[in-house]
Amino acid sequence: MPELTYREALNQAMAEEMERDESVFLIGEEVGQYDGAYKVSRGLLARFGPKRVVDTPISELGFAGIGVGAAMVGMRPIVEFMTFNFAILALDQVLNSAAKMLYMSGGQIHVPIVFRGPSGAALQLAAQHSQALEAQYAHFPGLKVVTPATPADAKGLLKAAVRDDDPVVVLEGELLYPMKGQVPQGEHIVPLGVADLKREGTDVSIITHGKMVHVALQAATRLEKEEVSAEVLDLRSLRPLDVDAILATVRKTNRAVYVEEGWPLAGIGAQIVDIIQEEAFDHLDAPVLRVTQADVPMPYAKNLEQLAKPNVDRVIAACNKALYR
């Protein structure tokens, strides 16, 4: 099994789907001649030509709308946002057009479109360029939302998203692009709505998604040295949620900590806590705890940015609190 970077896995997924289906095309800022702002689309323009790899003006609302219209008439667009912070400008097309068209047409018009790009904080990009917006997209019926944490999941989830007949938002971790991992070749599909147990454990469940999976795994490794066995569940998909996997890990360990990069108010973790307390309350030996970004706009100063982000120490502290240590 070859080892690829996260960006190479995404590139491979797009190339394979464009080769398989002529209705698939890529549109966005600098996706063609520049090979993508993060080089995710490297080589695709030379391979598929300018009609299928389309550079756009700086107009997120405009090219997102072009994508939605193309999807309504039978194409399968992949719309790349240079960052999901910029996608805020396109929310009307994503949330009011793509997400609602199937329902408002009485099931007559599908919108098979993928909106993808980096989300969350990187390194000192400050408040307007460091936002993890998963909860905002997952809030809207009609959208599917996935957050791959590994190169293999990046390839498998993106291929599944392209083939889905409904709009799918693929939120990629900006800091994950250079990360390497083993990726199956060829027909590797990760079904939407299926979580993945990244590490087994018996004492406490760390449930998470996206690049926080790696923070959780580091925390679990350190907890093992303290004779604490932490299980790590990667949701991978935020809408639909794999509720069975969430309940299974909580019923196994009887304690849970949710880790997310977003803010605490109305975050994904709030939904996970609600599911657990409603469906697995009798299995809990401690309250479900959450580790999130600080409830502030992301600071630019490096030391303050580090304090604002979820980190390994905070996850370990939450796990120990759940264990009454």
Inter-residue contact 264 to 160 (CB < 8 Å): no
Which residue in this structure is represented by tokens 């791959």? 148
DSSP character at residue 299: P
Cβ pair 316, 222 in contact under 8 A: yes
Task: Check if 129 is active-site.
Answer: yes
Q: Specify the residue for token string 């190339």.
A: 15
d(CA 74, CA 245): 35
Q: Which residue in 30, 110, 129, 283 is the catalytic one?
A: 129
The CA-atom distances, in angstroms, between 184 and each of 13, 125, 151, 187, 253 are: 11, 33, 10, 8, 31
- For residue 57, whether the previous peptide bond is cis, meaning omega lies within 30 degrees of 0, is no
Instruction: Examine residue 240 and say whether the peptide bond preceding it is cis (omega within 30 degrees of 0).
Output: yes
**263 in Cβ contact with 292 (< 8 Å):** yes
**CA distance linking residue 188 with residue 250, whole number of Å:** 29
- The Cα–Cα gap between 259 and 26 comes to 32
Answer yes or no: 60 catalytic.
yes
The dihedral through the CA atoms of 73, 74, 78, 84 has a sign that is positive
Q: Which of 60, 172, 231, 261 is catalytic?
A: 60
Element containing residue 47 per DSSP (H, E): helix 44-48
Q: What is the SS3 assignment for 238?
A: strand
Neighbours of 292 (CB within 10 A): 23
How many other C-beta atoms can be found within 10 angstroms of the C-beta atom of residue 129? 17
Give catalytic residue positions. Answer: 60, 129
